[in-house]
């Protein structure tokens, strides 16, 4: 397989590149120009589009929300335009999206048929997926991966939580009842490789572990993995003071997504259990 990857230097992209090359794949990193957009797309079988500004890098100011949106919606549109200029476009476009599409949904179990939620992230995901879906008109198979919280020993959320939890000052966020949909990074890159090879699979797929957990359960599991207490909760008002809209839009939002389509397609998670995943990564 010849695969081109955007965002190849990021947390998921670097792990995916290593995984694909270890499996004998020919991987090319897509390079962004300083003024935006990609330089070119090489002749390849699959494009995996992972590039996008982090949603947890700071307060959602108006300028930051604009950058988050542009880095996903507009850049994806530019990528599809490049595909349209190719004499022979790749057969497949696998484009990252996020479970933020579903919004804050309480205890509702959410699969790929569930409706769109409300809020900034849901709107970004809707438009992001629409930008990628334009490649369908080129005869390209488009896969939208709605990715949950990625657990990795190399960065991401675990690197942010390790220090406070190791110091014994970790705790639940708010009341801890909000659902968290997560995935071990090894399962995520295996999922992308799986989808690149299964030419009959298209459309939306939830890239999460089979069992979401509440924030309280996640907190206690991480405490067990690090052998540290988790007795200092962070009140909702403190989160809102600290990060503003990001608190309700992401940290306190409850999204219990399940990977129904991936399971139906025969994909088997290596790390379906949270304790097992954290034990492997900590």
The residue range of the domain holding 203 is 2-151+181-209+256-269
How far apart are alpha carbons 33 and 249 in whole angstroms?
31
- The structure's pTM equals 0.95
How far apart are alpha carbons 8 and 229 in whole angstroms?
36
Tokens of 80: 């599809």
pLDDT, residue 167, reads 87
Does residue 274 sit within a domain?
no
Residues of the chain with pLDDT under 70: 36
Chain segment 64-78, per-residue pLDDT in tens: 999 999 999 999 999
Chain segment 130-189, per-residue pLDDT in tens: 999 999 999 999 999 999 999 999 999 999 999 899 988 899 999 999 999 999 999 999
Number of domains observed in the structure of the chain: 1
Does residue 204 sit within a domain?
yes
Does residue 31 sit within a domain?
yes
How far apart are alpha carbons 118 and 159 in whole angstroms?
29
pLDDT, residue 74, reads 95
CATH of residue 54:
3.40.50.720
Torsion sign across C-alpha atoms 130, 244, 61, 6: negative
Identify which of 100, 226, 85 has the alpha carbon closest to the alpha carbon of residue 165: 226
How far apart are alpha carbons 165 and 162 in whole angstroms?
5
pLDDT, residue 267, reads 98
Tokens of 55: 């949603």
Does residue 55 sit within a domain?
yes
Does residue 249 sit within a domain?
no
How far apart are alpha carbons 89 and 84 in whole angstroms?
7
Does residue 171 sit within a domain?
no
H helix or E strand, kind and range, residue 242: helix 236-243
């Amino acid at each position: 397989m010849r695969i081109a990857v955007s965002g190849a230097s990021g947390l998921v992209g670097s792990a995916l590149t290593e995984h694909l090359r270890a499996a004998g794949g020919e991987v090319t990193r897509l390079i962004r120009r300083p003024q935006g957009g990609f330089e070119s797309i090489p002749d390849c079988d699959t494009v995996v589009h992972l590039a996008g500004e982090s949603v947890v890098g700071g307060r959602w100011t108006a300028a930051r929300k604009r950058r988050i949106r542009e880095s996903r919606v507009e850049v994806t549109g530019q990528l599809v335009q490049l595909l349209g200029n190719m004499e022979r476009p790749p057969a497949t476009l696998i484009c990252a999206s996020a479970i933020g599409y579903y919004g804050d949904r309480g205890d509702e179990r959410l699969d790929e048929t569930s409706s769109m939620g409300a809020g900034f992230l849901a709107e970004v995901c809707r438009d992001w997926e629409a930008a990628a879906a334009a490649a369908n008109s080129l005869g390209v198979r488009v896969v939208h991966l709605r990715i949950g919280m990625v657990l990795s020993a190399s960065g991401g959320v675990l690197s942010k939580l390790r220090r406070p939890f190791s110091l014994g000052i970790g705790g639940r966020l708010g009341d801890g009842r909000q659902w968290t949909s997560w995935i071990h990074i090894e399962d995520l890159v295996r999922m992308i490789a799986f989808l690149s090879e299964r030419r009959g699979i298209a459309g939306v797929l939830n890239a999460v572990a089979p069992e979401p957990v509440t924030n309280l359960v996640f907190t206690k599991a991480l405490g067990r993995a690090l052998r540290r207490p988790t007795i200092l909760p962070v009140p909702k008002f403190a989160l809102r003071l600290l990060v503003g809209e990001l608190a309700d839009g992401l940290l306190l939002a409850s999204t219990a997504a399940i990977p129904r389509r991936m399971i139906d397609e025969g994909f088997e998670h290596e790390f379906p259990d949270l304790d097992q995943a954290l034990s492997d990564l900590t």
